A and B are shown apart, each in its own frame.
Chain A
Amino acid sequence: MTTVIFGAGKTARQIAEKAAALGRQAILVTEDRLESIADAETLRSAASLSLLTETHLKGCNGGIGDFTLELQQNGGTKTVKAARLILAEPDRRTANYGVYGLAPSDAVICLSELKARIGDPAGFGWPEQAPKHLVFLHGISTESTPAIAEEVMTAAVQLQEAFGVQTYVLVGNLKVAADGLEALYRKCRQAGAFFIKFTDTSPDLRQDKDGTVVVEYADEITQQRFTIRPDMTVVDETIEPSEKVARLARLLDLEIDENGFAQADNVHRWTVGTNRRGVHCVGPSRGILSREEKALDAANAAAALARESGDPPADRAVIDRGLCIRCLTCFRLCPYRAIRFTEEERVEAMAEACERCGICAAECPRTAITIPGLGRKELMPERSAASDAPVRITAFCCSQSAKPAGQYARRMGRDLPAGLDIVEVPCAGTVSLPHLMDAFARGAGGVMVLSCHPDNCHSREGNMLAKQRVELLRSRLEEIGFDPKRLSIRTLASNMGVEFGEAVEAFEKMLVDLA
């Protein structure tokens, strides 16, 4: 079982070590040159490890347990087989000179440069040539992060204690929501650092020709005006995903978050999980994490490697070769990238990768895809409605949200409509137009689709696809003179018992009023 780890940095190595301890072979793949990798020799000499430098991913086929990667190295291509893939690329940092309208100079440096000087004081002529007064510009007009705040405060303590520098931290919201940071903040102040906070105002920064900065500001509480003339100003940095992460996410068809990190901002994604089974994303590849969170990621990725993948489940999507016209609708819409091309250029669903959301089957224009248990004849209400109910309602309930919400409502003693028939579906995306029409044909006076909230769908946009179908069918129903209000969709979460009750009761009342 080979694991390909993209990256050769600290997190990548931690995981490789853990993989080795589990007896798993790991290949580190990096676009970097050998010279730019710290301590590359140790990496190359490790028995359970190989290192591919200056190597670019060109393509990926297959799924968990059986990925085929096409890699390019020195102009040649090579194919590598892997059971699992891990993205462990470092992030990218941009110094915020522009944010503060300053130009880098001898007197204006960024946080990373300051850390380099603190790490090698003699090399920079410190402590003799260390500044006497130093201003940090930190999270003003942009929001910083605990990771950066920790570096700023650690540096401030070192400057105060080891080099006798008077430091001033000019800050908007001080981000202390990580382990030990509030204590560090207190320590920083005890060491003599001044913290000046800005809420609705910001300091006036003027950079002289010699590169030094003059800082003027009004204290927000006392309104008193102050001027600082530091001999060094340090701008903080913004953490972003690296271009490598963006490229890998594109090539591997991974969901990205709005900042471009290779993990969707979806609460249902496992810590180091992505939308693809067997593809994991850790540390700086998945977001801006604190030190302790990065360590947890490495452990969780190792846990993924330790697991044996079992037999593929039997209830997954199957594509009928005779009916499939290779229109690729399923390929485009599968949130889990479980559809692949075979060597005979057929389209095939991989049982190991399929999560059984039902989206492909509902969207296939040829109805060539079947999923056991989700067919038109199979998706039936769990219990028939009482015969004396004023109206019968079929509610397609997502098993992740509305189904438990309905159970919660019932257990709370909520008097749900007597004619309510619940059809549990793995995802609202399962509910196809035929499913909806069948429910009316079976005699429902109203049909509801109850899905997860936008951005909360386990299958990315099964909820939105269901909404599109409902809207389409509503307009068709209206054309034939059928009241479209009889078909409704709304979103819920698994813990919204009260809201479930309100929704179905209001729907029943509306249907009764219609009649």
Chain B
Amino acid sequence: MTEKRVLIIGGGVAGLTTALELTRFGIESDIVEKSPFAGGHGIQFACKATDRCVKCGACVVEEKLRDVCAHPGIRLLAATEVMSIEKKSRFSVTLRRSPVSIDPAACNDCGACFTACPEGAVQQGFSAAHNPFYGAMEDRCSRSSGGSSCTICRDACPQQAISFSPEPAVEETAADAVIAAYGFTPFAPIDKPYGYGMFDDVVTNLELERMLRRKGLPLRPSNNALPEKIAFIQCVGSRDAKRGHLWCSKICCGSALRLAGLIRHRHPQIEATVFYIDIQTFGKDFDTVYPKYQEDLRFVRAIPADVLAADDGGLKVVYAADGTHESREEEFDLVSLSVGITPCTGAEKTLSALGIDQPENGFSGASRDPGVFLAGAATGPMSIAESVADAGRAAIEAAAYLAQ
């Protein structure tokens, strides 16, 4: 009966879940994902289980991606973005495919392109469900950004799986409803006084997650050795009135404590310190697990003022010590910044084409178009579980709209 089709912008957990929920109403969809690897930020997270599951939800993203890939009613277009969108009788949409394309049928996962690329633009997937398993990040590829005629990856491929299109490949499509699930942009800690971008061993919690997922180890980028002392600095870019970030990012306390707990579980010799404002409740079992973290980790209720280089290659974290007006310097050899969730950048054009309001905080509000629905962290900080719940809501609203 229904020939209605939905366009989902964003292939993170919210977009993937919305697509799956829509299939329960018999509605098919196209998911458009800018990155070559669908699954959003969540697909890059490590499992943080210790002797048991700590309910971080990373495996849920994996599960959603697998289900989407297996579903015949969902078309997942990775390395694709919306160029323009216009509401006529339906939404008519112009999509742009990445100029570097890897044929998943020909690719045999050998990784020659990954090794060969001088720009580090070819990246490895984060999941068995990433097909192809390698993808070119457009922002790093000199072909996409600089208009160069580099052919190194193609020449390196023994399978002839890589092809270039001279102009970005464009595809026209139509949709009856649109789900805006473009997610968030992690706060860039570059202008915070924590030496990010200056010191190798200052990383973001997202980078630490990726490292654990890909290598299984929390290594210091400077020397690929295990650290002895890790500092986790919370609220980097969240709860920050100076920047007008009047929100808690909701997920960072859970992320930092679970990461620290995992690292201590695997490497009990590593000491972990958490610098924080207020520890936020995460998970249904918070009241049971928090006392355990309090025993296992060191908590300092202060937000550091500075991260400086120490003489021996380590890092000095400067913070206000309890009970005094003085600042204290303490040495660490790895610093993880829990960067906040900030509004998605780069979606402005799509946002205005879809009639989406932007409230004062910069996240996305509702759309003036009854056929446009928002889902997930595009509207504000959300955990994986909350994004899944929100996607369920968006799906039933879209289904009700399409049934009219």
Contact = CB atoms under 8 A, between A and B. Distances in A.
Interface stretch (A128-136, A294-302, A334-342): A294-302
A408 B65 CA distance: 13
Interface string A120-148: 00000000000000000000000111100
B197 interface: no
Interface in A405-441: 405, 407-408, 410-413
Interface in B258-290: 278-288, 290
A306 B396 contact: yes
B385 A271 contact: yes
Contacts of A502: 216
A180 B379 CA distance: 12
A257 interface: yes
B127 interface: yes
Contacts of A261: 284
B58 A493 contact: yes
Contacts of A412: 124, 214
A494 B59 contact: yes
B138 interface: no
B322 interface: yes
Interface stretch (B77-85, B240-248, B364-372): B240-248
B63 A302 contact: no
A497 B128 contact: yes
A176 interface: yes
A259 B284 contact: yes
A363 to B, nearest CB: 23
A296 B63 contact: no
Interface in B10-25: 21, 24-25
Contact of B49 (A222, A408, A491): A491
B323 A220 contact: yes
Contact of B63 (A307, A405, A494): A494
Contact of A267 (B59, B133, B248, B250): B59
B390 A499 contact: no
A182 B45 CA distance: 26
A495 B62 contact: yes
A303 B392 contact: yes
Which label, helix, strand, loop or mixed, suits the secondary structure of the A interface? Answer: loop
Nearest to A493: B47
Contact of A146 (B56, B281, B323): B281
B396 A299 contact: yes
A404 interface: yes
A187 to B, nearest CB: 9
A455 interface: yes
A295 B397 CA distance: 13
B288 A258 contact: yes
A176 B248 contact: yes
Interface string B285-303: 1111010000000000100
Given A220-B322, A271-B385, A404 B62 contact: yes
Contacts of A302: 396
B13 to A, nearest CB: 12
Interface size class of B (residues with CB under 8 A): 35 or more
A300 B24 CA distance: 12
A183 interface: yes
A155 B215 CA distance: 49
A182 B247 contact: yes
B4 interface: no
Given A220-B323, A271-B388, A303 B127 contact: no
B63 A199 contact: no
Contacts of A180: 247
Contacts of B399: 303, 306
B380 interface: yes
Contact of B284 (A174, A182, A257): A257
Given A175-B278, A306-B399, A456-B53, A408 B284 contact: no
Interface in A175-219: 175-183, 186, 197, 199-200
B281 A498 contact: no
Nearest to A21: B400
B323 A293 contact: no
A296 B278 contact: no
Contact of B380 (A175, A179, A499): A179
Nearest to A404: B128
A221 interface: yes
A290 to B, nearest CB: 9
B253 A293 contact: no
Interface in A367-425: 400-401, 404-405, 407-408, 410-413
B25 A307 contact: yes
A197 B303 CA distance: 15
A8 B228 CA distance: 56
A261 B282 CA distance: 16
A9 B393 CA distance: 21
Interface in B191-244: 213-216, 238-239, 241
B250 A178 contact: yes
A365 interface: no
A496 interface: yes
A221 B393 contact: no
B128 A413 contact: no
A177 B214 contact: no
A505 interface: no
A182 B109 contact: no
A296 B49 CA distance: 28
Contacts of A223: 323
A299 to B, nearest CB: 4
Interface string A279-300: 0000000010000010111011
Interface string A141-177: 0011110000000000000000000000000011111
A268 B63 contact: yes
Contact of A411 (B25, B52, B128, B250): B128
Contact of A257 (B239, B285, B389): B285
A177 B386 contact: no
Contacts of B388: 270-271
B73 interface: no
B216 to A, nearest CB: 4
Contacts of B320: 221
Nearest to A146: B281
Interface in A11-53: none
Contacts of B58: 493, 495
B62 A454 contact: no
B119 interface: no
A183 B396 contact: no
B250 A177 contact: yes
A299 B301 CA distance: 39
A266 B283 CA distance: 10
B314 interface: no
B66 interface: yes
B402 interface: no
Given A221-B320, A267-B57, A408-B127, A177 B248 contact: yes
A414 to B, nearest CB: 11
B393 A265 contact: no
Interface string A289-323: 00001011101101100110000000000000000
B392 A495 contact: no
Given A265-B285, A266-B55, 14 more contacts: A182-B248, A199-B301, A267-B56, A267-B57, A268-B60, A270-B388, A293-B389, A303-B21, A404-B128, A408-B127, A410-B109, A413-B111, A495-B45, A498-B213
| 6 nearest CB pairs, A to B | A407-B128, A456-B53, A493-B47, A498-B216, A299-B393, A177-B280
14 contacts: A180-B247, A220-B323, A268-B63, A271-B392, A296-B390, A300-B389, A303-B399, A306-B396, A306-B399, A307-B25, A407-B128, A454-B52, A456-B52, A495-B62
Interface of B: 21, 24-25, 45-47, 49, 51-53, 55-60, 62-63, 66, 109-111, 124-130, 133, 213-216, 238-239, 241, 246-248, 250, 253, 278-288, 290, 301, 320, 322-323, 325, 361, 380, 385-386, 388-390, 392-393, 395-397, 399
